[in-house]
Amino acid sequence: MKEIGTIVIGSGPGGYIAAIRAAQLGQKVIIIEKGDLGGVCLNVGCIPSKALITAAHRYETAIHSDDIGITAKNVEVDFSKVQEWKGKVVKKLNSNVQDLLKGNKVNIVKGEASFIDANTLRVIDENSTQTYTFENAILATGSRPVEISTFKYSKRVLNSTGALNLPEIPKKLVIIGGGVIGVELGTAYTNFGTKVTILEGSSELFAGSFEKQMSSLVSRNLKKKGAEIVTNTMAKDVEENEDSVIVKYEAKGEVKTIEADYVLVTIGRRPNTDEIGLEQVGIEMTNRGLVKIDKQCRTNVPNIYAIGDIVDGPQLAHKASYEGKRAAEAIAGHPSEIDYLGIPAVVFSEPELATVGYNEKQAKEEGIDVVAAKFPFAANGRALALNNADGFLKLVSRKEDGLIIGGQIAGPNASDIIAEIGLAIETGMTAEDIALTIHAHPTLGEITMDAAEALLYKLK
């Protein structure tokens, strides 16, 4: 029996950040992980997918730069080396997480955890069973891909992990689900030369998570590269052969089939709230299997907290990290609370998409009188010099005082540019504050300033 101040279950971007913050605040902390440090995001999610996207983009750029006077011949992909490089990126970050935890005196325990009661936890590994008593616990167990009964995962029916670790570039790939994961991996393999078909159940990509003008840019670009997008469709079943799959789907009342090397299923993720003994301590759950929490990430059991994919809200790595910090601070007695307005959402598509705070429609539905202004990347010098000027940046402000309450970006480096708008929301900046901030020229960041100036003109 070992006594611990704070115990964290799960070492993903929520868990390891929570453990570090708790240790920095003077708590004696251990973190329990049954797999690899870093969780899904680092090992089979955010990081390896972005590495694959980068490699595919480099290849596509190498063979399609004739319009700027650069012609490359005999460009080839050694996919085994791509996968090897991707693995090195993951391994490096995995090592970094371990060093960070050890550097902050967080004890790492490998094994599967389950609650005995509200202050006792059992951890089982291959060789032994250890029992821990604790004052506080933070649940950060993450999520796993949803499996369709008619599309059981196999050699050629893949989830996102399988799609990231293919031994070769497929000639044809069917993707069920046009959400973030489906579009990102679809974009990567399209750039590698795969004939990609996306089957999406709603009327547009991302199922309304982004403004239609934003999702339409991504859809148009994918089609331009040769991908096929079928909306308002329902995947029915799959026939798997030794070297191919035949996917049956229904669209416009007609049943059709399509043959491919693989089918990737990306219809969502399920919270990992089973098999850890939550029923033993009476943790209150939603009907979706999520853990109910308050503004400090505390469950109905006062000394147990929950963060990340197992609680309500978008399944984002940075949301989990943010919640992890708030939970650790709450345990330390700080008045920290969660506020999701400033949390951005990003898609590494082409063009990249990013949003934070309110969009126009959301603000109006909340009864907020707003003014919005857009500025095109086509009028930005740096974007033109990058030969990548498709898209726009929009700022949304409160009409009464010009307070920035939201922003949306579709364009190059949207994932980086969105941070300034997030900062504006968090610190209560107005359109004038952004317009008066001197931005270096020529940079993509100037587009935020230009949009703010356009917004000021409309606010007059």
Active site residues: 441
3-state secondary structure at position 45: coil
In whole angstroms, give the CA distance from residue 69 to residue 297.
55
3-state secondary structure at position 109: strand
Cβ burial of 284 (10 Å; 0-12, 13-18, 19+) is: exposed
DSSP secondary structure of 151-201: B---SSEE-HHHHHT-SS--SEEEEE--SHHHHHHHHHHHHTT-EEEEE-S
Strands 245-251 and 254-260: antiparallel
Burial 22-46, CB ≥16 within 10 A → b, else e = bbbbebbbbbbbbebbbbbbbbbbb
Per-residue tokens: 104: 């902050």
DSSP state at residue 311: B
Closest CA to 376 of 386, 389, 364: 389
DSSP state at residue 52: H
Cβ burial of 367 (10 Å; 0-12, 13-18, 19+) is: exposed
DSSP secondary structure of 114-146: EEEETTEEEEE-SS-EEEEEEEEEEE---EEE-
